[in-house]
Structure 1
Amino acid sequence: MASKKTLNAKNLEELGAARLAQLLIEISTGNALAKRRLRLELAGAQSPAEVAREVDKRLSTIRRSRSFVDWQNRKALIEDLQTQRKAIVEQVARSDPAEGLALMWRFLGLANSIFGRCDDSSGMVIAIFHQAVADLAEIAVRANPRPEALGDAVYDALSANEYGQYDDLIGTLAAVLGERGLTYLRGRMTALAKTPVKRPAGKDRVAVGWASSGAIYQDEIDERSRDSTVKLALMEIADALGDVDAFIAQYDEPTRKVPRIAAEIANRLVAADRADDALQILDAATQNNPSHSSFNWPDFKWVDARIAVLDALGRGREAQDMRWSCFESSLSSRHLREYLKQLADFEDIDAETRAFDHAQTCKSVLGALSFFVTWPKLDRAADLVIGRFEKIDGDHYEILTPAADALSAKYPLAASLVLRAMIDFTLIHARSTRYKHAARHLLECASLSRQISDFGAHESHTDYEARLRKMHGRKSGFWGLVD
């Protein structure tokens, strides 16, 4: 049975309303966030309309504020914004969706003024506005605004998308806009693209930088920003309407031959049951970029798009060849898994062994090690390390650290050699910032050595440490950490 002193709702209820009210007054004294929360609850007890008025007043106050919000004050700002957002969603919009929709647009309109005076290196503030965009879509379903009115609101928002707060706004609201709203919005964006940009007189133009061609003016940057906004909006509208040709029209002919762009176009054409057209787009990109047909290092987006096209055309054998070629050149475990899935029973076992043999002997030891660890195939990883230790570049701790962790339980010698590679690199290159990690790795090697009965062709841990002390004995920063 829970103690009467346990802090829970049941025990607090027994204090009585009067005592709880007194405690809340005491606790909220000097705490602006708590006071605002209590005012919202009091307003909610009267009516959702009162909550809306409280939120509206608070949003106006936030908009007028000019003080800089550093990382120390960011938490209070985040809590304040979350309080207002939740009040709109949970109290206002549930009883009055139209008012909730209007308030959420006002809330989102705070973004530019906030980011202009806020350190959001953590990304926590922008995440609130992205959540608000998702909330906006849910509220709009219930509010059911006229498609044209919603289109106008989206148009105005995208024109003020200075910090990416409205990214994916069209896609999020596509279902509510419907074909009518999307078509209307496309008309407005197309008209904007055709509107000439008013340039200031020569003496009034503001230079914001310099390039080899001369001055860079603010009006030129504004024009490029507008054109980019229009292009992205028209592409999102095309996707929402399923209009592949309208999407393609946003790229000129040379740009369509860039493999990454060709892949985006091809994926949409396949989804529209136009695989033949998709293959032509990809072929044009390959001819324009011959390196992409050699798979020296595949452009995975282009490869994946071409595999999807070949499958759609019933050319499964060619698709399989591409999966295998991609694996051979890059050791992509994803493409190998997809390749194996297409094989008949028992054929996949032989193919998997052939793939492992290829990885074992490939030029990139680190690539092979990463492949074996993530597959996982740790016995192969251990053999690779022991057999090709001298080829391991100890600079790549992002690969070697998880590899050592994975190997330590069953393959202590291989794990120890991986750690030695990082230690050797650190000491040979005198990377003092890594001494702390290298010292820890050396201690881990000592621990692992107790599990190793035979070091084979490699030094015992005792000999290894003795050699390190002889070669790097003057690196006192490192040995001080070890000893």
Structure 2
Amino acid sequence: MPRRPALDRQTLLALGPDHLADLLLELAGSDPAIQRQLRLAVASRSGPEDAAALVRQQFGSIRGSRSFIDRQQLRALAKDLLRQLDAIRGPIATSDPSLALALLWEFLALSRNVLSRCDDSNAEMDELFREACHALPPVVQAARPEPAALARQVFEAHCHDDDGIVHGLIGKLAESLGPTGLAALRQQFEQLAQQPVTVPPQEEQSRFWTAQSGLRAVAEAMGDVDGYIAQYSERQRRVPRIAAGIAQRLLKVGRAEEALRFLQEGSPERSPWPVLDWEDAQIAALEVLGRTDEAQAARWHWFEQTLMETYLRDYLQQLPAFEDGEAEQRAIDFVAASPDLYAALSFLLEWPTGLHRAAQVIVQRHGELNGAHDELFDTAAERLSADHPLAATLALRCMVDFALTNGYSSQYGAAAGHLHTCQLLSSRISDWGEIPPHEAYLAAIRSTHARKRGFWSKARPLGL
């Protein structure tokens, strides 16, 4: 069979420019996407105006379309838009930053049209438009637009941002907006909030939310903590997540007492799950105020509530010398007794001195093990096999049992491998206690799952 020629840069360059040009023209004649790409490359070398004209022509074509974009069309459109974006932030921005800035705003304005016409379930288009948003700050810095003009553009983008594409843009452009631009932007959002109600309730709520979120972003960019707080109602300030955000900003400006007050008013005691931002802000506020005993108590409390390593590490680091060992043991005892077996094992397998206790928990509570947590038990088997073969065996067995009991044929290969590892580990287990030894376990699953031929066809080559 003749060898297939390699297709790489060197072999293509060896064809020579004339041959390559002919090939590209031939391809462009049958593929409009390649033709547009070549035209854009040529125009970019001619000058920014020519390239911008082609970009705007493609934008107009996209804006004029109203049809649904299917998955195949979405991929093609994403590639085409990425080429337009590369041209804008590349050669056009290098030659004419102001022109590139205008094109970036036009690019972002396309998001409403495109995203409303497609099912972007894997967020491919979302990410592309966010990438265009990330390209704005350096182009704005190079173009140096008038602050008031920039404020108007930011305001328009924020008001039409139904998909959260430009979220955070005000903060990123704060330096370019400067005091004048930020003041102008704040005035525009204030006017939006004060407009008479002439629209349906749903649209009115959207307008109010847009104005409120814009004023919060402006206040934060200006370092105006009180302006930021003012955009939340008394009821909103009692939401733990919002209270935490307010407290974090107050802490940055040295207002710890107020921060703690907001946290107390927005306590997550009634929440069914912890609010980590609130907890972190509470501890930080207590530390700033010199209430170290209360901060330590909070760390331990939130460790008990979440079994998160971070709280325990911070707690232990604050203890006097020689007291951390006893406290660490108390923490491990607490985790081992947790009713949430999987959270307990996750913690113990990661904690530096927790492997021995993890092995004990697996052996003592082996009847509770559910092989559906395969990632956890894969980790357990790997980390426990050296010094705790019985616990590692039980971790492997629960995954074998899960696959066989539920008839998950896609997992039979992995399950057979787990069973083979159990066989290798069995020679190192001298005391099985109440656990059936390997041969007894193997005989039991041979009897119970004799008809699982797909499994046994994978197990037999492994000597099982």
TM-score, length-scaled by structure 1:
0.85
SS at 1:109 equivalent: helix
Q: Among residues 283, 298, 303, which one is paired with 1:322 in the alignment?
A: 298
Aligned AA for 2:147?
Answer: P
| 2:380 aligned partner | 403
CA apart distance, 1:474: 6.5
1:417 aligns with 2:394: yes
Q: Work out the CA distance in 2 between the residues paired with 1:165 and 1:269.
A: 28
| 2:415 aligned partner | 441
Relative to structure 2, which stretch is displaced further, 360-369 or 84-93? 360-369
CA apart distance, 1:6: 6.2
Task: Please tell me whether the aligned partners of residues 137 and 173 of structure 1 are also in contact (alpha carbons under 8 angstroms).
Answer: yes
Q: Deviations over 1:79-112 (max 9, x none)?
A: 1011000100001111111111001111111111
| 2:284 aligned partner | 308
1:450 aligns with 2:427: no
| 2:150 aligned partner | 150
Task: Please tell me whether the aligned partners of residues 439 and 479 of structure 1 are also in contact (alpha carbons under 8 angstroms).
Answer: no
CA apart distance, 1:477: 7.8
SS at 1:335 equivalent: helix
CA apart distance, 1:469: 4.4
Task: Please tell me whether the aligned partners of residues 393 and 422 of structure 2 are also in contact (alpha carbons under 8 angstroms).
Answer: yes
Aligned AA for 2:438?
Answer: H
1:264 aligns with 2:240: no
Aligned AA for 1:339?
Answer: Y
Q: Deviations over 1:336-371 (max 9, x none)?
A: 122233345554444333322322233322111010
Q: Among residues 351, 356, 375, which one is paired with 2:332 in the alignment?
A: 356
1:372 aligns with 2:353: no
Q: Work out the CA distance in 2 between the residues paired with 1:13 and 1:366.
A: 58
Change (3 A) 1:419 1:220: farther
Aligned AA for 2:216?
Answer: M
Task: Please tell me whether the aligned partners of residues 416 and 455 of structure 2 are also in contact (alpha carbons under 8 angstroms).
Answer: no
Task: Please tell me whether the aligned partners of residues 397 and 418 of structure 2 are also in contact (alpha carbons under 8 angstroms).
Answer: no
Aligned AA for 1:306?
Answer: Q
CA apart distance, 1:41: 1.8
CA apart distance, 1:416: 2.6
Identity of counterpart residues, as a percentage? 40
Q: Work out the CA distance in 2 between the residues paired with 1:410 and 1:233.
A: 58
Q: 1:110-259 counterparts in 2 under 5 A?
A: 110-199=110-199, 219-259=200-240
CA apart distance, 1:180: 1.8
Q: Structure 2: give runs of 5+ residues left out of the alignment.
A: none
Q: Deviations over 1:13-49 (max 9, x none)?
A: 4443222212322343423232222111211222122
SS at 1:198 equivalent: coil
Q: Work out the CA distance in 1 between the residues paired with 2:394 and 2:135.
A: 52
CA apart distance, 1:439: 6.3
| 1:45 aligned partner | 45
Aligned AA for 2:137?
Answer: A
**Number of aligned pairs?**
452
1:280 aligns with 2:233: no
SS at 1:448 equivalent: helix
SS at 1:73 equivalent: helix
SS at 1:120 equivalent: coil
SS at 2:299 equivalent: helix
Aligned AA for 1:16?
Answer: G
Q: Work out the CA distance in 2 between the residues paired with 1:420 and 1:448.
A: 8
Q: Deviations over 1:189-221 (max 9, x none)?
A: 11111112324xxxxxxxxxxxxxxxxxxx222
Q: Deviations over 1:310-355 (max 9, x none)?
A: 1111222321221122112321111112223334555444433332
Q: Deviations over 1:437-477 (max 9, x none)?
A: 26632541232321223234311233223333444556778
RMSD value, Cα: 2.7
Task: Please tell me whether the aligned partners of residues 260 and 282 of structure 2 are also in contact (alpha carbons under 8 angstroms).
Answer: yes
Task: Please tell me whether the aligned partners of residues 409 and 455 of structure 2 are also in contact (alpha carbons under 8 angstroms).
Answer: yes
Q: Deviations over 1:208-260 (max 9, x none)?
A: xxxxxxxxxxx222122112211211111121111111111122222212222
Q: Deviations over 1:276-307 (max 9, x none)?
A: 11111112223xx5457xxx853322211100
Task: Please tell me whether the aligned partners of residues 396 and 422 of structure 2 are also in contact (alpha carbons under 8 angstroms).
Answer: no
Task: Please tell me whether the aligned partners of residues 111 and 129 of structure 1 are also in contact (alpha carbons under 8 angstroms).
Answer: yes
1:468 aligns with 2:442: no
Q: Work out the CA distance in 1 between the residues paired with 2:412 and 2:359.
A: 21
Change (3 A) 1:134 1:471: same
Q: Structure 1: give runs of 5+ residues left out of the alignment.
A: 200-218
Aligned AA for 2:162?
Answer: E
SS at 2:303 equivalent: helix
Change (3 A) 1:242 1:34: same
Q: Deviations over 1:390-427 (max 9, x none)?
A: 23344444543443444456544323312333444566
Change (3 A) 1:479 1:18: closer
Relative to structure 2, which stretch is displaced further, 470-479 or 181-190? 470-479
Change (3 A) 1:14 1:472: closer
Q: Work out the CA distance in 1 between the residues paired with 2:63 and 2:104.
A: 14
Task: Please tell me whether the aligned partners of residues 44 and 87 of structure 2 are also in contact (alpha carbons under 8 angstroms).
Answer: no
SS at 1:125 equivalent: helix
Q: Work out the CA distance in 2 between the residues paired with 1:459 and 1:442.
A: 18
